Every structure is written in structure tokens, then in C-alpha cells.
Amino acid sequence: MLARKYLFPNVIEMNYQAGRRLGVNVYLIDGGDEFLLIDVGYLDTVDEIVELIRKMDFNLSMCKMIIATHADADHIQGIARAKELMKTKVAAHPLTVEPLESGDEIMTYATIKAQDFAIPMPRCKVDIEINEGDVINVGSVKVEVWHTPGHTAGQLAFKMGAQEPKLLFCGDNIYKDSCVGVIDAHHGSHIPDFIQSLKRIIKDDSEFLLPSHGPVFRRDNRIVQKAIDRLTQYQYMADFGTCAIGWPLLDEWEADVLAGRMPEFSKAETR
């Protein structure tokens, strides 16, 4: 048997457990007589992850469900395979069902044509829809479901607030360096929603944030606020294309054009 490396009571993360980089963070919530997984990563690491779970002496039939935080290939390319290996159920937000069940290559980032990137995206049937306010009982552990749209429309986060320390599995909402999950129109990103999701994290009382990528860290609202400040600016920047909600420069230009005001430097040529 492999010794279980708990990060917190009832929580194991598979990269930390393996002692090597597997990919996305894969959390195992151990409720005693059953467990669940949050994300499962790429197809080529699924067998190893399932084998690790077995070696830690978990009975695979005790897997209550595998939750997709959202439908990005790096999080869920292997979910159909994991479901089959563990004979378990897959849970996701209603807005994540369509890209998961259709294996949508654009929405999941399985194909990025302009970068000559393409990986298979096996379709996966979603058995359970979970949404804001739901509580998932995993043995002795209670997991509250948060719907935190922004990165994608169906992005989920999970609060474990009934025990100490209080934990928030924050998905792709925020990472330790204050970066956030990619903002992309093709992906269903929505900057105003993203800001609201981040504000909710700021108001929360969780002591630790457990993101989908990189290190787990103590909640520091300066990290989250920095992201809110940046995203607030993004809303008015052309850099973010149709994800921006306005572009003040273009409004000023239009006002000049409509008023017949020529640029300052062109005065010499006006007759």
C-alpha cells in the first residue's frame, strides 16, 4: 500500500501524491466510506492516476463521482476513460454538459487550429448535473457547489466549510500568482461574470484556496484583488476583443468624427 499524502484532512491532490507533475490538479476528497474526484486531467495520465488511487488502498467502487470543474481538455480529456475504469458517475454544471457530451473540440481547446494543436476529445455522458447551492455528501464530508462563471460559463468551485481549515477549490478562477483562467470569446468567457466570481471569493471565509493549476495557497485577498483590478481594466480594452464591454477610445473617436473635429495635427491642411 502507498502512504496517502493528505494536504488537509480528507483532501489528497494527485500531483503532490505522485511527487511529479501529472498535469491539472486532481483532487480526491476522501469521505471515509466513499470518495470523489475533482477533474481528472489528460487521457494519457488517467491510468496512472487510477492506479495510484488503487495503490493508496481506495476501493474503486467507492468512487461516488468524478466532477468536471468545466469542459477544458486539460481538465477532462480523460474523464470518459476514468469513468469506465472506475465504473463511476460523471457530474458537471448544466452549461458544461453540451461540450462534454459532444466532445466539442473548440470549446474544450482540444483543437487550436491556428497553433496546429489537435488532440482527441472523447465524448462523455454526464450522469449528474450539479449547480449553485447543491451540497454533495461524500461519506462524512460536505461539499458545497459554487457556480463561478467567467473563465467558462459552467465553471464550478467547491467549498468545504464544515471543517477546519475551511477550503475553497477555486478551479480556474484564481491562481497563486494572481493569474486567472484564460479569457477567450470562443470559450464562453465573460469578464463581468468573472469579476463577480472573484468578488465572491474575496468575501468568503475559506482559509486556503485549492486551484486547478499550480500550488495550493493560503487565501490572501491582495492576490484576488489584483486580478479583479486587472479584469476591471480588461473590460474596456480592445486587447480582449468581444470579451470587452466597451472601448472608450473608439467612443471618443466617433464623437470627433460625428462633430467634424479633425485631429489636432491636421489643422494646417483645413481650408
Give the C-alpha separation, 225 to 198, whole Å.
8
Cβ closest to Zn ion, residue 18 vs residue 179: 179
Cβ closest to Zn ion, residue 17 vs residue 212: 212
Q: How many Cα atoms occupy the beta-carbon half-sphere of 140 within 13 Å? A: 8
Cβ closest to Zn ion, residue 62 vs residue 224: 224
| Shortest-Cβ-distance residue relative to Zn ion | 172
Q: Which of residues 201-220 bind Zn ion (CB under 5 A)?
A: 212
Cβ closest to Zn ion, residue 155 vs residue 206: 155
State in angstroms the smallest separation of the CB of 261 from Zn ion.
46
In order, the DSSP letters of 41-108 are: --HHHHHHHHHHHHHTT--GGGEEEEE-SS--HHHHTTHHHHHHHHT--EEE-HHHHHHHHHT-TTTT
Q: Which of residues 151-180 bind Zn ion (CB under 5 A)?
A: 172
State in angstroms the smallest separation of the CB of 108 from Zn ion.
11
Residue 254, H or E segment? helix 248-259
The angle that helices 79-86 and 43-55 make with each other, rounded to 10 degrees, is 30
State in angstroms the smallest separation of the CB of 40 from Zn ion.
13
Cβ closest to Zn ion, residue 23 vs residue 103: 23
Cβ closest to Zn ion, residue 56 vs residue 82: 82
State in angstroms the smallest separation of the CB of 191 from Zn ion.
17
**Residue 39 engages Zn ion in binding (rule: CB under 5 A):** no
State in angstroms the smallest separation of the CB of 192 from Zn ion.
20
The angle that helices 221-234 and 191-203 make with each other, rounded to 10 degrees, is 160
State in angstroms the smallest separation of the CB of 220 from Zn ion.
21
Q: Which stretches of the chain bind Zn ion, using CB under 5 A?
A: 172, 212
